[in-house]
Amino acid sequence: MEKENKKFARNSRAHLLLGIILVLLGVAVMAEIFDAVPWRMRDIIFSWQMILIVLGVIFISGSDNKSTGYILLGIGAFFILPRFFDVPHYWRSLFWPSLLILVGLLILFGRARRPRISRERQEGDDLLDDVDIFGGSEKVLHSQNFRGGKISNIFGGSKYDMRQAKLAEGTNILEVTMIFGGSKFIVPEDWDVKMEVTSIFGGFSDKRYRSIVVPDANRKLIIRGEAIFGGGELTNI
């Protein structure tokens, strides 16, 4: 109940922030109509850069995983600065190294906040803790007590075959962050899997075939996270 109350509070803050942003955007457009501001606010407000900034602020205020918000905010701010200030001619060439630094810092600080996973539990595949950057691999899970974990795909991705694994009792969370990359997840037909992946210029598709096998109601896997300029696939074959 306490967790649900916290989630409700975060969603309420996100909705409140969205309302405030919309009001401020409307006021800015009216100010531009009456020539009360020095810039062409309408062109700036309704630009793709501002959309990313607004989405980033909303994600930061209302999400457990704030990395997506920081990345969107950083990309939008980077490309909108030249509209307000004179920047060096090499400004755009700094985008990719800056993005890599930002993603790297988020991964480092994210790993520092997460509890350490012992080597024994990693080898047993009970908890996944996998990072794919500019590459990937194929992994077969054999754990008979799989409890989820965390996967980060940056310009890469892997294939995870879970058909020989078994879910632990209760609700298990697999957090995914897919940025310019993605992974494929193959799950058994009797797994109860729910997707809660937010896609931004990307997608996460459920390609499972319908099965007559009844899932175990006491075991559930939730795949939760974000797909930004990337995506993933869930299948049972």
What's the DSSP call for residue 66? Answer: T
Q: Which residues contact 31 (CB under 8 A, 6 or more apart)?
A: 37, 41
pLDDT for the residue 216: 77
Q: Which residues contact 168 (CB under 8 A, 6 or more apart)?
A: 126, 145, 146, 147, 219
Q: 124 pLDDT exceeds 70?
A: no
- Gap between the Cα atoms of 188 and 167, Å rounded: 10
Say whether both 159 and 223 belong to one domain.
yes
Q: Could you report how far apart the first and last alpha carbons of the chain are, in Å?
A: 37
Let me know: does 224 contact 197? Beta carbons within 8 Å: yes
Domain final residue, candidates 56, 88, 112? 112
- Predicted confidence band of residue 56 (pLDDT cuts 50, 70, 90): confident
Q: What does pLDDT average to over the chain? A: 76
- Predicted confidence band of residue 117 (pLDDT cuts 50, 70, 90): very low
Across the range 216-228, mean pLDDT stands at: 85
pLDDT for the residue 203: 79
**Strand, helix or coil for residue 93:** helix
Residue type, 25: L
Say whether both 27 and 95 belong to one domain.
yes
Say whether both 186 and 107 belong to one domain.
no
Q: Which residue in this structure is represented by tokens 């012992």?
A: 118
Say whether both 83 and 135 belong to one domain.
no
Say whether both 216 and 166 belong to one domain.
yes
Domain final residue, candidates 112, 147, 172? 112
**Strand, helix or coil for residue 82:** helix
- Gap between the Cα atoms of 230 and 183, Å rounded: 9
Say whether both 149 and 59 belong to one domain.
no
Across the range 152-171, mean pLDDT stands at: 86
pLDDT for the residue 142: 87
Say whether both 230 and 127 belong to one domain.
yes
* Number of domains composing the chain: 2
Domain final residue, candidates 94, 112, 130? 112
Mean pLDDT is lowest, of 5-14, 34-43, 93-102, 178-187, for: 5-14
Say whether both 129 and 198 belong to one domain.
yes
Mean pLDDT is lowest, of 34-43, 82-91, 191-200, for: 34-43
Q: 119 pLDDT exceeds 50?
A: no
Say whether both 184 and 141 belong to one domain.
yes
Mean pLDDT is lowest, of 12-16, 143-147, 185-189, for: 12-16
Q: Which pair of structure tokens corresponds to residue 177?
A: 């962050």
- Predicted confidence band of residue 172 (pLDDT cuts 50, 70, 90): very high
Q: Which pair of structure tokens corresponds to residue 47?
A: 């630009």
Say whether both 96 and 74 belong to one domain.
yes
Range(s) of the domain holding residue 93: 2-112
Q: Which residue(s) pair with 128 in the sheet?
A: 149
pLDDT in tens, 223-235: 988 887 777 888 8
Say whether both 128 and 224 belong to one domain.
yes
Q: Which pair of structure tokens corresponds to residue 162?
A: 């879970």
Say whether both 189 and 228 belong to one domain.
yes
